[in-house]
Structure 1
Amino acid sequence: MTSTRERQRAAARARLEKEMAERAAAARKRRQLQAGIGAGVALLLVVAGTVWLVASLGDDETETPQADSDPAGTTCVWNEIPAEQRSPTVKDVGLPPTTTPPDTGTQVITLDTNFGEVQVTMNLAEVPCTAASFSHLASNQFWDNTKCHRMFPGMLQCGDPSATGEGYRDSDGTGGPSYQYANENLPVDDRPAYPAGVVAMANSGPDTNGSQFFFIYQDVELSPDYTVVGQVTQGLEVIQEATEAGHDGAFDPSPGGGHPNNDILINSLTVSEPQ
């Protein structure tokens, strides 16, 4: 007999197949409208009374499968990107474990940067799969010696494995792992949705989380479409200092912002065991 959980999953897959077709059509339209920018999803960013059009960068050349999600919320689904659809900036370190991740306690992300140490605490009840992905990538030194590649007023984006070395400013921010996974912990009822101190996942559409993430270092208004990873519990002033020099305007006037004027280097990123 088919279980309730199996029926839920079958229904979810059917909905996702329909959504994937709609998203593919929308993605083609976005690429036409935003040609040359490499942008994924457009959103409004309001900082100090100024409205910015922000685009989260994704692979503008290929369509990748949308991540499936478990309606019961008990397992993580890692949607591997087919080899023929991967951009040259994909860094393949395999998939995270398929076992059910811990969903109680906390884990701490520690970033050793050239401006100082930053710590981010993740609540495993809110982001079990995001934490599992961070743990897997960190254990493979995925982010070591990479640079934060984009910033806007109030936001600093990092996590592109191709943003490394002297020529990182030529990167378009499409780097990531060989898989994607579903959104978690969307701040749909919070205002502001992304206050200062929040760390969230960048994406190129619903359920396309990979490795890129962003720090909010002053309150901003964003649509609640980005998984809240956790909260900076040490070193927010490090991010604020690193971004004081502003950006080079490489993405102005649309979608806005640019590469940080300061080279902001992640020497290493580690994740603690669950506590």
Structure 2
Amino acid sequence: MPSNEQRRETAKKKLERQLERRAERAKKRKQLTIAGSVLGVAVVIGAVAVVFAITRGGDEPETTASDTPSADTLITDGRSEPLPETVNCAYPAAQAPAAKPNTPPRTDAIPTSDEPLSYSMETSQGNIGLTLNNPQAPCTVNSFVSLANQGYFDGTSCHRLTTSAGLQVLQCGDPAGTGQGGPGYEFADEFPVDQYNVGDPAASQPISYPRGTIAMANAGSGTNGSQFFLVFGDSKLPPAYTAFGTIDETGLQTLDKIAAGGAEGGAQDGKPALPVDITSVVSDL
């Protein structure tokens, strides 16, 4: 049985090979596009990605006062132009120091290809399988993968569970276990936040982040770090939090068990009554 360190090293090597394959495919796609233009052939590729988000205000999730979804219940990835084949990401230092030692992720030439990235989060309550949406939130996925491959989430606890009708999520990713900890760096919001112009009133209207969504927690615009939400029940929140993947059926069953245990003291919002300790987060590839 390989150790977690061996699995991470294997995952790192596989990721490097994936990056090489993606770059080669991107090169071929570019060559084909140029050839098509020369021949005067118009090729239209349509892709619609439907995703919802969840929220947390400060360092904690924040329930919305309304249980009625707005007209923007569904958000589609309707960018006027697709993302380029690679993007550059910025991970500037945060005000608070890292809650656990880590090395910030790479910043240059981050692929936006649609090759899925699957990770397995083993917890004291069961396994939670994650599929990361790279083309939708490449800088977010890049950070999550970097932290996971460094073992940043290993030995940490999911510190908050909410079971109200408007917000049903498990919050994880803080080594301090307080809702205040992070990796010592922060980064910008991505989808669906980037679908709204600054000052757009629609950006403050709740949308539905459906069961099975993974989204980033933050303390305001551009303050993403290591904390994330696992949505086990449709939740209505402003589209202010980056959604970057989905949870598999086994993971949802694990979350349902955790949710059934409720929060400590019978509350709808607080530390899970069933302790959720993360043993490891490793690549399935």
TM band (smaller chain): 0.5 to 0.7
The whole-number CA distance in structure 2 between the counterparts of 1:47 and 1:270 is 37
The code of the aligned residue for 1:148 comes to C
Cα 1:115/1:40, change in 2 over 3 Å: closer
Task: Find the counterpart in structure 2 of residue 227 from structure 1.
Answer: 242
SS, match of residue 143 in structure 1: coil
- Are residues 1:244 and 2:268 paired? no
Paired residue total: 199
The whole-number CA distance in structure 1 between the counterparts of 2:61 and 2:280 is 30
- Are residues 1:77 and 2:77 paired? no
- Are residues 1:264 and 2:283 paired? no
Matches within 5 A, 1:175-254: 175-186=181-192, 192-234=207-249, 235-248=251-264
Q: Summarize deviations over 1:140-159 as a string: whole Å, max 9, x none.
A: 10000111101111111011
The code of the aligned residue for 1:220 comes to S
The whole-number CA distance in structure 2 between the counterparts of 1:272 and 1:209 is 25
SS, match of residue 121 in structure 2: strand
Which one of 103, 128, 134 corresponds to residue 138 of structure 2?
128
Q: Which runs of 5+ in 1 are unaligned?
A: 1-37, 50-70, 164-171
The whole-number CA distance in structure 2 between the counterparts of 1:41 and 1:176 is 13
Task: Find the counterpart in structure 2 of residue 63 from structure 1.
Answer: none
SS, match of residue 180 in structure 1: coil
The whole-number CA distance in structure 2 between the counterparts of 1:123 and 1:222 is 20
Matches within 5 A, 1:1-275: 39=58, 43-45=62-64, 74-81=87-94, 85-87=95-97, 90-104=99-113, 105-153=115-163, 154-163=168-177, 172-186=178-192, 192-234=207-249, 235-248=251-264, 257-272=269-284
The code of the aligned residue for 1:125 comes to P
Contact 2:67 2:236 in 1 (8 A): no
The whole-number CA distance in structure 2 between the counterparts of 1:200 and 1:268 is 19
Contact 2:206 2:237 in 1 (8 A): no
The code of the aligned residue for 1:178 comes to G
Shift of 1:130: 0.9
Cα 1:42/1:118, change in 2 over 3 Å: closer
The whole-number CA distance in structure 2 between the counterparts of 1:149 and 1:42 is 11
TM-score, length-scaled by structure 2: 0.62
Q: Which runs of 5+ in 2 are unaligned?
A: 1-56, 69-82, 196-201
The whole-number CA distance in structure 2 between the counterparts of 1:197 and 1:185 is 16
Q: Summarize deviations over 1:73-114 as a string: whole Å, max 9, x none.
A: 821111123xxx425x62231210122112111111210112
Cα 1:46/1:220, change in 2 over 3 Å: farther
The whole-number CA distance in structure 1 between the counterparts of 2:254 and 2:63 is 26
The whole-number CA distance in structure 2 between the counterparts of 1:40 and 1:179 is 15
Cα 1:114/1:173, change in 2 over 3 Å: same
The code of the aligned residue for 2:107 comes to T
Cα 1:135/1:122, change in 2 over 3 Å: same
Shift of 1:233: 2.1
Higher RCO (C-alpha under 8 Å, 6+ residues apart)? 2
Contact 2:59 2:180 in 1 (8 A): no
The whole-number CA distance in structure 2 between the counterparts of 1:127 and 1:183 is 9
Identity %: 33
Q: Summarize deviations over 1:19-57 as a string: whole Å, max 9, x none.
A: xxxxxxxxxxxxxxxxxxx945884436988xxxxxxxx
Contact 1:46 1:222 in 2 (8 A): no
The code of the aligned residue for 1:238 comes to T
Cα 1:41/1:264, change in 2 over 3 Å: closer
Structure with max Cα Rg: 2
Shift of 1:244: 1.1
